Structure 1
Amino acid sequence: MGSTPRTSCSSPRSRRRRWASLLGATALAVTTGGALAVPAGAAAVNVDFPTHCVPPPIAGIPPIDGTTTAKITVDDATPQVGDTVTVTYTVVTPAASNPTDLALPADIMTPTGKVTLGGAQSGGVTVTGPKKNTPVPGRGVFPSFSMTGTFTVTTPGAITLSPGDYNIHTSYILELDTPCTVTNPPAPVSETVTAGDNPPANTRAISLGSASGAPGASVAVTGTGFTAGATVTLAGRSGTTQTADTATVTANAQGAISGSLVVNDLTTTGVVAYEGGAWSTDLGAGPVAYVVIDDQPVPEGSQKLTTTVKAGTLSMSQAGDAVAMSAVDFGSGDASTGDLNAVTVKDYRGGPAGWSLTGKVTDFTGPGAKIDAGKLSWMPACTTKAGSPSTCQAGSAGAVGSAGATLASAPDGTLTGGEFTVKAGLSLDVPAFTPPGTYAGVLTLTLT
């Protein structure tokens, strides 16, 4: 008789050892670079520092002492006191690589860390990264990962930023943490920002005794918040241009002013008051609306000619109602890009009000799946037609989402209006392995 075949069966202890080896390898893996973009033009430098990483006890792997290469970048290297600075901590080369022959799956790791502030301002900045990584082959080198956070500038001067401790959290079979600490803190300085001291806020304000008057009438002007003892100029304004109607007063010990201005210019739209030789937003107040009513009698043998400029409406039109975005290969997790159809905004109201053009998008639905609305981002641009009283401002680049974001706007002013062309580059972050098919979302624009 032939021998009975033997079946191979590993013991519970052997299985535990293999799971522990797998978990230990996972705990030391890191997220892929590119999940968070490093600000362009950052002057940061890569720095090396010794790091002590402690795998979870269940992994059965001893602590790893190695060298981490990292850099710190910021979105604003010359902020003012009170500004918020966005910090990106990029671990270029982690202190360890995959210690086993087992490949690690994608998108299981979430990093967090700290950035150490020094110089003019002390403290730390908490930074976090997304749960995103490419598969890591057995014995493979871990890719870099990035984490971001913000801090508020409280002190003027040079503020240094150094990489600090970081932690790698894994969500694969079990929730595990692998903390990596700086062996000899602080680590070398990677980035320095130079903070300026904000000037005090301008609290100057004026009020008028009346909102209108005949040519040559005197209007009372009172104000507060001026520099004690300063000479203050009162002046008429025609739109953004100063008229020839001016007067001067002196601020008292409390910074208050009181005087009068004779207004002759028929085109006057407002009155301002300012310190110094010329108008500035830092040392001025106003304009406060004022209208000259031309009620002069018509001389004998003359005819008074009048015309009316009728106020129009605020409207917008689109160059199209569909955008075909670029295709993305299955499994790539790439960006699908396109361009928003140009939007023309016409502000023919002729008043002081500005406008705002906002947009929001629905989820992108497809064959039994969807792509979240928050995955769509845009980079707005806005141009103003020559001769327009207002100047449009493009909204900030970033996510659109279902909550919406500003595409473009024009500020309030003494006289607003004009014609504007608004465009935007679109980018949809398509997750890896999104089921093949066509996905569509609706982007709704609202003009107010």
Structure 2
Amino acid sequence: MATATRRSATRTGRTTGRRRRWTAALGAVALLAGTAALAGPAHAMAAASAPVDFATHCVPPPIAGIPPIDGTTTAQITVDNAAPKVGDTVTVTYTVTKPAASNPVDLALPADIMTPTGKVALGGAQTGSVTVTGPKKNPPVPGKGSFPPFSMTGTFKVTAPGSITLAPGDYNIHTSYIMELDTPCTVITPPAPVSETVVATDVPGANERSIQLTTASGKPGDPVTVTGAKFAPLADITVAGRAGAAQTADRTTVKADAAGGFSAQLTVNDKATTGIVAYEGAAWSAEKGAGPAAYTVIDDTPAPPNSQKLNSSVKAGTLSMSQAGDTVALSAVDFGAGGASTGDLNTVTVKDFRGGPAGWSLTGKVTDFTGPGGKIDAGRLGWTPACTTKAGSPSTCVAGSAGVVGSAGATLASTPNGAVTGGEFTVGAKVTLNVPAYTAPGAYSGVLTLTLT
């Protein structure tokens, strides 16, 4: 924090989960912004993600002619938001760092022929499971060699406040080489140990509709059972496949029961389907729908003679932020006159490369300003936010309202949830510190914390 003779501060930081916070020392003459990841009150209650081991029963394809494998799987669950609100969609990543199974045949497997799918078990304040899928991507696997690590992702909607635990569940390794083969692996003593915990806060009136799938993958024409909860009682429900933001031809309808629940069989024929949604009415609405739940269509169509099938995948990234420079000079004010000490917040760049349905929110709060004359109240700091969206981004950035920042905090910028979100965004703000008229001369500084969730 700056003093009357020093206008710089030492950068400090620590990382908690996947949330990132940025700390700034703000003075009447200078503002210093440094990188620091600090846990908020709700997030501080959540246990940090950790790898866990659990006993697994894997069944090789019958063609391998070998008995089931009982071994140990090492895995870790991570989330993009460890402190969500009820109604938020949380992206879950299930990473198997050490599979219990291995290549069941003597034949070496080439690269990019493995498609993993699985489940993540929810417990605590919200129960159920999350379907997760991974891209068809792997290094070459020698004959009888160990399967390599892999990651799977999916989403779930938060429907209850409190601590929600996430534990690894059953997973399946599908290989597409010469023939289509599956190696399902089940947790011997479910549930597996908890790897991640999120702490959700209540939001009265939030959309609590949710869906679950019985399986995360299938061949074209296979049915999948979709169950839903907390829809409008006796409402007509559409269950449909999704490919990004577009709805596929896979579609069925069902009526919710008196409690708002339903169970439907959806036959998935469209090979482009990557997720499944359910909604009330004739068209998708985020306010009256749930999903998408991850689903992978295993294309088992043989390649024509004298041809080669080319497979590619798009790997999901992360939500991150960076800032330009460390120091912002605010204008000086005169003793006896006081008034507005102004400047521009260093530009913040937000990159959302998650490729899921969740938007983001960038908020800020500030402490009181201290100096030789005591303190200037945090409520005297205000800002006028601005935000621009890079061309081609699926989401559109919305600037927060102009007004007081204070110790309670305010929103700097955000993007809404949607079928497909993401992009690059540039965020800034005009900042004004209203200095009292007879504040003692010298430098005054506080700490401005920006939080991206």
TM-score normalised by length of structure 1: 0.48
Which of structures 1 and 2 has the bigger CA Rg? 1
Higher RCO, Cα 8 Å, sep 6+: 2
Structure with the bigger percentage of strand: 2
TM-score normalised by length of structure 2: 0.48
